[in-house]
Structure 1
Amino acid sequence: MQPVLMPPNIIDHFYRGGDRLTAFRGVPQHSPRTPEEWLAATVHRAGEPEVGLSRLADGSLFAKLVEADPEGWTGFEHGGPGAGPADTGLLVKFLDAGQRLPVHVHPTRSFAIANLHSCYGKTEAWHILDVRGDDPAVWVGFREDVDERELAARVDAQDSEWLLGHMNKISVRPGDGILVPAGQPHATGAGIFLVEVQEPTDFSILLEWSVTTATRDESHLDLGFETALRGVSHRATGADELASLLHHLDPGTRDGGLLRALPAAADPFFRVDVAAPGASDEAGGAKAESEAAGGEKVGGEKVGGEVGGAKAGCEVVSVPRGFAVAIVLAGQGELGWSGGGVAIKSGEVYAIPAGLGDWTVTGPARVAICRPGVGWPDLT
């Protein structure tokens, strides 16, 4: 088995954005509302079975490839309990917000089992790539306990000021990793470009639909708000708990090992690490020469110039076997494995099968590696 280069899979949505995403993926932006791409996706958008699923270069569904050989792709004969034959344990997206996203909530696994016939809820996390504006920020969780009846009334009134005013506002910068546990209200601010990883569902309860093209009837997962709001945590997310949801990886960091991009609390659900090989001892300054040779700038880091070939003077970062979505954030280099290798460059996305075995990243590239949670497919 070999890595599969994934063609762009950019989709329309109910909010504005997408100019950085389309530029990064090298395609024209056909609409001002193309803020998301679903990467190596084997699940579709809620209620729209033709939207979201990734396709291969020949137009066939990536999900069919996984379904034909689940053990080869994931390392297991099946995914989560009852999740279907093409389950990979996670959904990865690009999100390029041209406006503030609405305040919304994703259900926990227990809520999803009871109400949505799914073994997965939708805990998610963000790895920030780029920001715009004077005060780039996200909001996660309430600052203080909220009365259930008041929340319902504020949602009904679409009181955006009250909702945001009762939430934890977090200023963000490139390299930040933020875990958003299921059940927590959250919103992403305008101007933020990020990689999003989440449980493989499209379950969203909109507490605030009036800032989008969505309607009230499209905002409660067909459960009705009386039921849907039971999926919202009304408990305050205090300072210590909030700190456990945050992690920062300096975008300029380079190392011979995998660099954690999310807090440890994310590990049961998914993992995002960055492979950014540093200059080896024998390089004699190859890293500095590479940066001086030109290249692309993503999240404040300039990489990508050729110095005697993509791998010149760089360490090798090893990645253990298992399904992964590999995103080449910057630069160029090589993915290598026993008996093979492929040149990579900024803007590319690869689906990595477990059957490839252990693999490596070399060269002055920066690659985000998104994988299912520790212990998957066991969800207990």
Structure 2
Amino acid sequence: MRPVLLPPNIIDHFYRGGDRLAALRGVTLASERCPEEWLAATVHRAGEPDVGLSRLEDGTLFAKLVEADPVGWTGFPQGAPGAGPADVGLLVKFLDAGQRLPVHVHPTRPFAEAHLHSCYGKTEAWHILDVRGDDPAVWVGFRADVDPAELAARVDAQDSEWLLGHMNKISVRPGDGVLVPAGQPHATGAGIFLVEVQEPTDFSILLEWSVTTATRDESHLDLGFDTALRGVSHRAVGPDELATLRHHVDPATRDGALQRGLPPAADSFFRVDIAAPGDGPEPGEVVVPRGFAVAIVLGGSGELGWSGGRAAINQGQAYAVPAGLGDWTVTGAARVAICRPGVGWPELT
């Protein structure tokens, strides 16, 4: 087996953005609303089976490769209990927001199991690549407990000022990692370019649809808001808890080991680590442990190496790396984001 180069898989969405994504991946956008790319995706967009799934250069669905050899790709004969036959434990995206995203919520695993017939909810995390504007920020969770009836009324009225005003605003910079637990309302600000990792679903409950092309009827997962809003956490996320959701790694740092890109609280869901070998007179090397991974070359050039093979890598490329490769290495002047399933996967805790 060998790493598989992933061609661009940029998709239309209900919000604007995508110019930095297009520049990194070397493509021309079809519209001003192409802010996302799904990488090594074996799941599709909710309600749209033909949107989101990754394909190889020859048009083959990446999911078919995994389904044909799950042990080779993931190290296990099947994914999480109750998941599909091509489950790899996570979904990886680029997200390049040209506008503030709407306030929205993703369901927890218990809510998804009860109402959406899924073993996965949608906890997610962001590793910030670039920011624009004078006040780059994201919002996660409410600052104080919120009355469910008032929240429902504010959502019905599309009161954006109230929603944002009651949430934790977090200033961000490149190298920041932010975990967004399922159930927590959240939004990213305009100008944020990031790598997103999440549980492999496309479940979103929009609390604010008026700033997008989505409608009210498209905002509650066909559950109705009476049910959908039960998936929202109304309790405060205080400073101490908020601190556990954040981590920073200096984008200029080079090291001979993987650098953590997300807070430890993310580990049971997914991991993002940065491989940036030293750039001294002798080429550096970072070892990546065996297991399925999505490797994104954020900058520079170098090589991926494994027992019996090597592959040159360059800025803007993305690879699906199979577990069957064994331990592998990143060498040279490249800076690579390594996205992997959570510790303990395919068991779900």
SS at match of 1:111: helix
Does 2:331 align with 1:362?
Answer: yes
- Structure 1 residue 273: deviation in Å? 0.2
The aligned residue for residue 338 of structure 1 is 307
In 1, Cα distance between the equivalents of 2:10 and 2:161? 31
SS at match of 1:341: strand
The aligned residue for residue 21 of structure 2 is 21
The aligned residue for residue 152 of structure 1 is 152
The aligned residue for residue 131 of structure 1 is 131
Does 2:148 align with 1:112?
Answer: no
- Structure 1 residue 30: deviation in Å? 1.6
The aligned residue for residue 262 of structure 2 is 262
The aligned residue for residue 97 of structure 2 is 97
Over the matched positions of the two proteins, sequence identity in percent amounts to 84
The aligned residue for residue 47 of structure 2 is 47
The aligned residue for residue 69 of structure 1 is 69
The aligned residue for residue 176 of structure 1 is 176
- Structure 1 residue 60: deviation in Å? 1.0
The aligned residue for residue 217 of structure 1 is 217
Matches within 5 A, 1:157-306: 157-279=157-279, 283=281
Count of residue correspondences: 349
- Structure 1 residue 215: deviation in Å? 0.3
In 2, Cα distance between the equivalents of 1:239 and 1:82? 36
- Structure 1 residue 82: deviation in Å? 1.2
Aligned amino acid, residue 367 of structure 1: V
Aligned amino acid, residue 164 of structure 2: L
SS at match of 1:82: coil
The aligned residue for residue 285 of structure 2 is 316
- Structure 1 residue 315: deviation in Å? 1.5
Aligned amino acid, residue 351 of structure 1: A
* 1:137-173 CA distance string (max 9 Å, x none): 0000000000000000000000000000000000000
**Alignment match of 1:352 (pick from 321, 333, 343):** 321
SS at match of 1:279: coil
Aligned amino acid, residue 182 of structure 2: A
* 1:305-348 CA distance string (max 9 Å, x none): xxxxxxxx222100011000000000000000001000000000
The aligned residue for residue 3 of structure 1 is 3
In 2, Cα distance between the equivalents of 1:354 and 1:80? 16
The aligned residue for residue 31 of structure 1 is 31
Aligned amino acid, residue 23 of structure 1: A
- Structure 1 residue 279: deviation in Å? 3.5
Aligned amino acid, residue 204 of structure 1: S
In 2, Cα distance between the equivalents of 1:90 and 1:10? 18
The aligned residue for residue 305 of structure 1 is none
SS at match of 2:138: strand
In 2, Cα distance between the equivalents of 1:265 and 1:82? 24
In 1, Cα distance between the equivalents of 2:212 and 2:331? 42
In 2, Cα distance between the equivalents of 1:246 and 1:353? 29
SS at match of 2:194: strand
In 2, Cα distance between the equivalents of 1:279 and 1:126? 27
SS at match of 1:217: helix
* 1:109-143 CA distance string (max 9 Å, x none): 01001110000000000000000001000000000
Aligned amino acid, residue 271 of structure 1: R
Task: Give the TM-score, by structure 1 length.
Answer: 0.91
Aligned amino acid, residue 22 of structure 1: A
Structure 1 runs, 4 residues or longer, greater than 4 Å off: none
In 1, Cα distance between the equivalents of 2:64 and 2:170? 40
In 1, Cα distance between the equivalents of 2:84 and 2:132? 39
In 1, Cα distance between the equivalents of 2:135 and 2:121? 31
Larger radius of gyration: 1
In 2, Cα distance between the equivalents of 1:253 and 1:148? 44
SS at match of 1:155: helix
RMSD: 0.5
- Structure 1 residue 181: deviation in Å? 0.2
SS at match of 2:71: helix
In 1, Cα distance between the equivalents of 2:278 and 2:241? 34
In 2, Cα distance between the equivalents of 1:73 and 1:126? 25
In 2, Cα distance between the equivalents of 1:323 and 1:221? 30
The aligned residue for residue 297 of structure 2 is 328
Aligned amino acid, residue 158 of structure 2: Q
* 1:204-236 CA distance string (max 9 Å, x none): 000000000000000000000000000000000
Aligned amino acid, residue 9 of structure 1: N
- Structure 1 residue 85: deviation in Å? 0.6
The aligned residue for residue 293 of structure 1 is none
Aligned amino acid, residue 237 of structure 1: V
